[in-house]
């Protein structure tokens, strides 16, 4: 049964942690099955990595991306196994958009696991290690941060990369330019402006080579019409044509993540409840600052998923 007011939202990098989904894995055999399928594609034991690896291992981009996609898809499978109602819309934050594509039936899970592994690899390789950077800027208006980036461009490429919530932005680019923009944001009165522990400048024009490489891999991957609309990061609208979706998922690599606009689109479309289908509560925190009218429920444990289904059914 479809719930008109229900959305599913899928987190991106930053939600991973050692030990995630352990209780769901113990309670639902389908979780083990999903991780086994991913491990077959990757050639290593993804579940063991998520439970017994080091945090620095799961923070490697080409491992983080399949790890989070697999976690989200496993949780979606549990939701359906328990008879949870179907959402009317989906949206994902950066990598999470690929999770949404899989859950909406646009792309086969195994194909997506391989694609996001390559996506992570190409994004990491697009700019040599140590040359790129990302920084979080908290407490300034978008226009002030954009001006700081503009002024810092004499040091190299730097631009807005993530519109996470009002007053919470991420900038990215060449390391020297990002540091210069951070300094300018601090001078402008930012509550916090700091470099993030990420070595590649995601969602900037510097990622265009990664998109070009991934384009060749996507040529042989089947995309079909989504079973329900997905609100995309690039323009906060739905795309229903497979070729358009494929194109926009390449653009998404080097264009900013418009998460604020995505959440506002969901609420405009009538959604007032969202399920964060992934480990942790990163998106719940962002949504609360964007629109308190959209209540977010987390489902990364058996008790939470049961409670969420009960509350929205």
Catalytic residue positions, numbered = 94, 203
Please give, one letter per residue, the 3-state secondary structure of the chain: CECCCEEEEECCCCCCCCCCCHHHHHHCHHHHHHHHHHHHHHCCCHHHHHHHCCHHHHCCHHHHHHHHHHHHHHHHHHHHHCCCCECCEEEECCCHHHHHHHHCCCCCHHHHHHHHHHHHHHHHHHCCCCCEEEEEEECCCHHHHHHHHHHHHHHCCEEEEEEEECCEEEEEEEHHHHHHHHHHHHHCCCCEEEECCCCCCCCCHHHHHHHHHHHHHHCCCCCCCCCCCEECCCCCCECCCHHHHHHHHHHHHHCCECHHHHHHHHHHCCCCEEEECCCCCHHHHHHHHHCCCCEEEECCCHHHHHHHHHHHC
* Rounded CA separation 91/226 (Å): 12
Tokens linked to 313? 């059914």
- Which phi and psi angles does 199 have, rounded to 5°? -100, -5
- Contact between residue 189 and residue 139 where contact means Cβ atoms under 8 Å apart: yes
- Distance between CA atoms of 146 and 122, rounded to whole angstroms? 27
């Amino acid at each position: 049964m479809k719930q008109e007011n229900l959305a599913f939202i899928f987190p991106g990098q930053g939600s991973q942690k050692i030990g995630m989904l352990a209780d769901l894995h113990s309670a639902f055999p389908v979780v083990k099955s999903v991780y086994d399928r991913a491990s077959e594609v990757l050639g290593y034991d993804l579940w063991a990595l998520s439970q017994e690896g080091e945090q620095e291992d799961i923070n490697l981009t080409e491992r983080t991306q399949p790890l989070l996609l697999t976690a989200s898809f496993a949780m979606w499978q549990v939701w359906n196994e328990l008879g949870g109602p179907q959402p009317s819309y989906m949206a994902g934050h950066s990598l999470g958009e690929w999770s949404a594509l899989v859950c909406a039936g646009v792309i086969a899970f195994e194909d997506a696991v391989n694609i996001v592994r390559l996506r992570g690899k190409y994004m990491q390789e697009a700019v040599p290690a140590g040359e790129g950077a990302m920084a979080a800027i908290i407490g300034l208006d978008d226009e002030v941060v954009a001006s700081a980036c503009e002024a810092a461009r004499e040091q190299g490429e730097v631009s807005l990369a993530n519109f996470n919530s009002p007053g919470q932005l991420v900038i990215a680019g060449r390391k020297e330019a990002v540091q210069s923009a951070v300094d300018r944001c601090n001078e402008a009165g930012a509550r916090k402006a700091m470099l993030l522990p990420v070595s590649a400048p995601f969602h900037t024009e510097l990622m265009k080579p990664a998109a070009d490489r991934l384009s060749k891999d996507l040529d042989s991957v089947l995309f079909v019409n989504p079973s329900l609309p997905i609100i995309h990061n690039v323009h906060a609208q739905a795309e229903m044509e497979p070729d358009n979706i494929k194109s926009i998922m390449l653009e998404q690599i080097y264009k900013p993540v418009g998460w604020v606009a995505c959440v506002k689109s969901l609420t405009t479309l009538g959604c007032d409840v969202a399920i964060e289908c992934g480990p942790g509560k990163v998106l719940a925190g962002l949504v609360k600052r964007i629109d308190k009218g959209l209540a977010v429920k987390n489902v990364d444990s058996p008790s939470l998923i049961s409670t969420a289904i009960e509350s929205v059914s």
